[in-house]
């Protein structure tokens, strides 16, 4: 019975999140205009159409602003990252790649704003969408809070799945406010900073969820050991 209970527990732990997309990073850059600004998203399972997802920035603790930018219609495979930024030129200088989607003001934040990730299976976002993940508290101005990312960044801790709209700063790692002050310039240059020359750099593309299959196989192995040790 213990083996069965352990296996049941581990199978439950191995189930994928109900949310196929999560926010894994938030950044507020030091380049002119406060660029790059945006979020890093991560697919926990294969997504056939990203246009079922949308973002909104709840500015300055004023509550939800609803959907402000809908993601483009394309597939995203499990384990892949997807960047949404306010613009593309400074983003490309900073990260060395193009953003997946330019969201303009729809993703405009400056460190004290909460960011909502919405899902609507129909893709219409006419009011039936649900908040599947959130960064920050939509009803609190983030200035001076644990999740204040002004001129810096926040990064989701490995293995933390979608929060369904209930944010917990303990599940995130932060650069600290103003960590990127001065990082707009590198080596005496002018506005030539990049993520790699910044201190600390945003840990782009590093989020991971522990492999479900290895967790399950490990649990089965542990269960067998427990079972065999009970034999005389
Ligand atoms: Ca807004
Ligand atoms: Ca703000
Ligand atoms: Ca800023
Ligand atoms: Ca600053």
Q: What is the pLDDT of residues 15-30, one digit of tens each?
A: 434 699 999 999 999 9
- C-alpha distances (whole Å) from 87 to each of 29, 31, 91, 93 are 12, 12, 7, 11
Tell me if residue 56 falls in helix, strand or coil. strand
Question: Which of 55-64, 105-114, 148-157, 213-222 is least confident?
Answer: 213-222
Domain count within the chain: 1
| Ligand positioned closest to the Cα atom of 153 | 3
Question: Containing domain of residue 80, as a range?
Answer: 19-209
Q: Enter the pTM of the model.
A: 0.85
Q: Which of 17, 40, 15, 46 is nearest to 135 (CA)?
A: 40
Within-domain flag for 27: yes
Q: What is the pLDDT of residues 91-105, one digit of tens each?
A: 999 999 999 999 999
| CA–centroid distance, residue 57 to ligand 1 (Å) | 4
Question: Considering the domain boundaries, does residue 219 fall inside one?
Answer: no
Contact 63, 21 (CB under 8 A): no
Under the banding of pLDDT at 50, 70 and 90, the label for residue 224 is low
Q: How far apart are CA 229 and CA 223, in angstroms?
A: 10
DSSP at 138: T
Structure tokens at 211: 């492999």
In a domain, 28, yes or no: yes
Indicate whether 109 belongs to any domain.
yes
* Closest listed ligand to the CA of 140: 2
Within a domain: 217: no
Residue 38 CA, ligand 1 centroid: distance in Å: 13
pLDDT of residue 50: 98
Q: What is the pLDDT of residues 38-86, one digit of tens each?
A: 999 999 999 999 999 999 999 999 999 999 999 999 999 999 999 999 9
Give the separation between CA 149 and CA 164, rounded to whole angstroms.
21
- Asked if the structure places residue 85 within a domain, the reply is yes
Residue 102 lies in a domain: yes
Residue 221 C-alpha to ligand 2 middle, in angstroms?
A: 50
Question: Is pLDDT above 80 for 223?
Answer: no
- Report d(CA 21, CA 74) in Å as an integer: 13
* Cβ pair 101, 69 in contact under 8 A: yes
pLDDT number for residue 215: 52
- The answer to whether 94 and 194 are in contact (CB under 8 A) is yes
Paired strand residues for 70: 54
> Does pLDDT of 214 surpass 70?
no
Strands (E) across the chain are located at 21-31, 35-43, 53-58, 69-70, 81-85, 101-102, 114-119, 130-135, 153-156, 172-174
137, 146 Cβ separation under 8 angstroms: no
Query: What protein residues have CB closer than 5 angstroms to ion ligand 2?
Result: 59-60, 110, 112-113
Residue 91 or 232, more confident:
91
Task: Determine the distance separating the centroid of ligand 2 and the alpha carbon of 156, expressed in angstroms.
Answer: 20
Tell me the CATH number at 48: 2.60.40
Over residues 209-225, mean pLDDT: 60
The alpha carbon of 93 and the centre of ligand 3 are apart by a number of angstroms equal to: 16
Cis, bond preceding 200 (omega within 30 deg of 0):
yes
Query: Band of the pLDDT at 13, cuts 50, 70, 90?
Result: very low
Q: Is residue 12 part of a domain?
A: no
Note the pLDDT tens digit of each residue in 151-198.
999 999 999 999 999 999 999 999 999 999 999 999 888 999 999 999
């Amino acid at each position: 019975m213990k083996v069965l209970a352990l296996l049941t527990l581990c199978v439950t732990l191995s189930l994928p999140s109900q949310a196929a997309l999560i926010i894994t990073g938030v950044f507020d850059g030091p380049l002119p205009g406060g660029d790059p600004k945006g979020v890093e998203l991560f697919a926990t399972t294969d997504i056939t159409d990203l246009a079922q997802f949308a973002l909104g920035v709840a500015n300055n603790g004023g509550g939800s602003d609803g959907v402000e930018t809908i993601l483009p219609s394309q597939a995203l495979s499990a384990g892949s990252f997807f960047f949404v930024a306010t613009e593309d030129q400074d983003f490309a200088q900073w990260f060395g790649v193009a953003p997946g989607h330019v969201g303009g003001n729809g993703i405009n934040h400056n460190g004290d704003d909460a960011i909502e990730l919405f899902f609507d299976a129909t893709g219409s976002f006419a009011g039936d969408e649900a908040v599947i993940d959130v960064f920050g508290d939509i009803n609190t101005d983030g200035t001076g809070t644990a999740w204040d990312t002004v001129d810096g960044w926040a990064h989701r801790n490995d293995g933390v799945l979608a929060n369904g709209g209930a944010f917990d700063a303990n599940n995130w790692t932060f650069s600290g406010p103003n960590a990127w002050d001065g990082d707009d310039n590198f080596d005496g240059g002018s506005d030539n900073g990049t993520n790699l020359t910044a201190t600390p750099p945003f840990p782009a593309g590093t989020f991971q969820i522990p492999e479900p299959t290895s967790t399950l196989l490990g649990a089965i192995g542990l269960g067998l050991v427990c079972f065999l040790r009970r034999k005389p």
